[in-house]
Structure 1
Amino acid sequence: MKNIGFLSFGHWSDAPGSATRTAQDVLLQSIDLAVAAEELGADGAYFRVHHFAQQLASPFPLLAAVAARTKRIEIGTGVIDMRYENPFYMVEDAGAADLISGGRLQLGISRGSPEQVIEGWRHFGYGPAAGESDADLGRRHGELFFELLAGKGFAKPNPRPMFPNPPGLLRLEPHAPGLRERIWWGSGNDATAIWAARKGMNLQSSTLKADESGEPFHVQQAKQIRAYRAAWAEAGHARTPRVSVSRSIFALMTDRDRQYFGRGDSSDQIGVIDNMRAVFGRSYAAEPEALIEQLRADEGIAEADTLLLTVPNQLGVAYNTHVIEAILRHVAPALGWR
């Protein structure tokens, strides 16, 4: 059994054929797609975060709006770039969104990916300390955010406050009990996956990772997940962690599906990202019977408990609802995911 959700990058443009021509289109359609996915029985609605781009950026207004329109589906990110974040303010935003959702928030955070501008996080007022890299900055902000979510008091109260204080040191409010166990670290290599396990965060493994062995992407990803779980067990955490992977998967059910995605098999791609040789996982697009056999051989998916389907959000809510439904109805049951 697997949790199956969607992951939207939230693109918009006025290109011909785009159903999301403005930021407002993306935001409103993201809410509608989450509602539709919940009605289909999907388990999660996740959104990517990019700054300085025509894509979804600040996630918490959207997450709160989705929370208010839905009742069951998990609501999350994949991922928030912590180089840009104030961990203290983010704890308040996340706590509010989680309480609105009734405890359904699943936040993916990470160091982030290359952005649209040079050192964009500096425009937000943040930068690495002496001797740090920007990756260190992201991990430092992530660790602080994760610790603050524990809800322990740390701030000395004013002796003459506007309103009465509870006894002792004060914590950030609103506090969302249980949210700390629903934080995921987006990892691009084996070392950061092991680091996340030791810290007690869940793992989000995306559609690319550092090419650390030359093996196919899904094989390297499966090894990363196994290393993460071994590190988790060694750390002695009490609960069972969760692991997600992301894939572009399209069941070719209609002529429109074939027009968009029926261009033959894809394969892993090799590229360079931040001076790192990276392997990018393939996309899947085939008739359901063939698709089932292809996915059965994907070791990364087999190791994960959660699968996020990346959706072409610019094709609109109705088409993306069809994409999700095709996987849930015609592919997932045959693989034992449903």
Structure 2
Amino acid sequence: MPTTGPLEQLGFLTIGVFDPDDPARGHETTLRVIELGEQLGFDSAWLRHRHLQHGISSPVAVLAAASQRTTRIGLGTAVTPLGWENPLRLAEDLATVDVLSGGRLNPGLSVGTPMRWDDVKDALYPDTAEVEDFSHERVARFLRLVGGEPASGFEGTQGFEVFSRRVQPHSPGLRDRIWYGAAGTPSAVWAGENSLSLVTSSVLRAEPETGPWDFAELQAAQIRAFRAAHPLGDAARVSQGLVVIPTDSASPAQQEKYAAYAAARTPRTREPQGPGRLLFARDLVGPAEQIADELRAHAGFREVREVAFALPFSFEEEDYVQILTDIATRLGPALGWSPKD
């Protein structure tokens, strides 16, 4: 369903980097960036997990804080790798944040064996590593629990305590706001069959195994396969998350830094990377009108009406302020988007 209509939902994604000797400052910067996003009229702000790295390891905790410092902007994860989580406990945490935010939470999930599995499995699952199920069933279990299906066979009063069969708190609309991050088409189809929304980013699995590959065309085909499997068809929600860096109000030093950042990452876009055969999209850097033209020509972008542009890693707060301001005041309007009050 290629679209030439206006962009309807504008969001951004950050990993929230920090100095390991002063982690509070980096987390506070992330919260200020989310507050700025709301002030600029963005529809959503998304956090990405960084386990055992100097980036946000607990987006749920940070989003709980953000829910108390904002009133309107949607808050999401893109994405939470379920291999690191207990689905029951995660359902409790996310339902709690959804209640605190007034129903603004958009959890994005993925499955698969945790990164650097051989290095972390003894700490993560010391007794059950060999039997943990990292398939789609892990997501299905989470969905059942969030949806209110029983988590326990007991309900009633024991002594002075009252017990519920289902996850508490129960947030009725949360199940309809669950997203799935799919790298390959089979996972995208599974997400559609299970009535999830789709997060598609700047990383896809190269399909088929032999090239040549065109990232934009591959992304568009994946989105179409997802919608074909979804009960809502063409109305099923898809959010695209490319890295875009408008430079309209950037200083000469910032422009030089942004160009160097993109140039260092460009070689990985030329062919699939690693055993997972991951294909990376090119970062879009330049004036907002130039980026808007590139996006309108992008087959994947033409399939969506929602985006969550990824902020570059390891930049300073002043850079994020400039980039977000240019996205909200220049790039978004060039794509037909209007900021929310």
What band does the TM-score fall into relative to the shorter chain?
A: 0.7 to 0.9
How do residues 126-275 of structure 1 correspond to structure 2 at under 5 angstroms? 127=129, 129=131, 137-157=134-154, 161-163=158-160, 165=162, 170-213=165-208, 214=211, 215-232=213-230, 236=231, 240-253=235-248, 254=250, 255-262=252-259, 266=266, 268-273=269-274, 275=275
Distance in structure 1 (CA, Å) of the matches to 2:222 and 2:57: 28
Residues 148-173 of structure 1, C-alpha deviations (whole Å, 9 max, x = no match): 1111334232665134648xx71110
Q: Secondary structure in 2 aligned to 1:194?
A: helix
Q: Aligned AA for 2:217?
A: V
Question: Cα–Cα, structure 1 residues 222 and 239, in superposed 2: closer, same or farther, change >3 Å?
Answer: closer
Q: Secondary structure in 2 aligned to 1:170?
A: coil
Distance in structure 1 (CA, Å) of the matches to 2:170 and 2:157: 23
Residues 40-69 of structure 1, C-alpha deviations (whole Å, 9 max, x = no match): 001111111121111111221111000111
Q: 2:4 corresponds to which residue?
A: none
Distance in structure 2 (CA, Å) of the matches to 1:224 and 1:239: 13
Q: 1:40 corresponds to which residue?
A: 40
Q: 1:17 corresponds to which residue?
A: none
Q: Aligned AA for 2:270?
A: Q
Question: Cα–Cα, structure 1 residues 110 and 284, in superposed 2: closer, same or farther, change >3 Å?
Answer: same
Q: Does the CA-based 8 Å contact 1:251-1:291 persist in structure 2?
A: yes
Q: Does the CA-based 8 Å contact 1:76-1:105 persist in structure 2?
A: yes
Q: Does the CA-based 8 Å contact 1:84-1:121 persist in structure 2?
A: no
Distance in structure 1 (CA, Å) of the matches to 2:121 and 2:214: 33
Q: TM-score of the superposition, structure 1-length normalised?
A: 0.87
Cα distance, 1:204 vs structure 2: 0.8
Question: Cα–Cα, structure 1 residues 159 and 99, in superposed 2: closer, same or farther, change >3 Å?
Answer: closer
Question: Cα–Cα, structure 1 residues 237 and 287, in superposed 2: closer, same or farther, change >3 Å?
Answer: closer
How do residues 239-318 of structure 1 correspond to structure 2 at under 5 angstroms? 240-253=235-248, 254=250, 255-262=252-259, 266=266, 268-273=269-274, 275-312=275-312, 314-318=314-318
Q: Aligned AA for 1:260?
A: K
Distance in structure 2 (CA, Å) of the matches to 1:159 and 1:333: 54
Q: Paired residues, what number?
A: 321
Q: Aligned AA for 2:226?
A: Y
Residues 181-222 of structure 1, C-alpha deviations (whole Å, 9 max, x = no match): 111111000000001111111111121111114331111001
Q: Does the CA-based 8 Å contact 1:52-1:116 persist in structure 2?
A: no
Distance in structure 2 (CA, Å) of the matches to 1:93 and 1:31: 19
Distance in structure 1 (CA, Å) of the matches to 2:23 and 2:284: 29
Q: TM-score of the superposition, structure 2-length normalised?
A: 0.86
Distance in structure 1 (CA, Å) of the matches to 2:119 and 2:194: 27
Distance in structure 2 (CA, Å) of the matches to 1:43 and 1:333: 13
Q: Aligned AA for 2:255?
A: R
Question: Cα–Cα, structure 1 residues 143 and 258, in superposed 2: closer, same or farther, change >3 Å?
Answer: same
Matched, 1:100 2:94: no
How do residues 69-148 of structure 1 correspond to structure 2 at under 5 angstroms? 69-111=69-111, 115-116=115-116, 118=118, 120-125=120-125, 127=129, 129=131, 137-148=134-145
Match of 1:5 among 7, 11, 19: 11
Cα distance, 1:260 vs structure 2: 1.4
Q: Does the CA-based 8 Å contact 1:128-1:137 persist in structure 2?
A: no
Q: Does the CA-based 8 Å contact 2:113-2:134 persist in structure 1?
A: no
Distance in structure 2 (CA, Å) of the matches to 1:315 and 1:224: 31
Residues 113-159 of structure 1, C-alpha deviations (whole Å, 9 max, x = no match): 86356353552225353xxxx8x515232111111111133423266
| Farther off after superposition, 323-332 or 277-286 | 323-332
Q: Secondary structure in 2 aligned to 1:69?
A: coil
Q: Secondary structure in 1 aligned to 2:103?
A: coil
Distance in structure 1 (CA, Å) of the matches to 2:259 and 2:139: 40
Q: 2:49 corresponds to which residue?
A: 49
Cα distance, 1:289 vs structure 2: 3.0
Gap runs ≥5 in structure 2: 1-6
Q: Does the CA-based 8 Å contact 1:8-1:47 persist in structure 2?
A: yes
Question: Cα–Cα, structure 1 residues 187 and 336, in superposed 2: closer, same or farther, change >3 Å?
Answer: same
Q: Secondary structure in 1 aligned to 2:207?
A: coil
Q: Does the CA-based 8 Å contact 1:52-1:117 persist in structure 2?
A: no
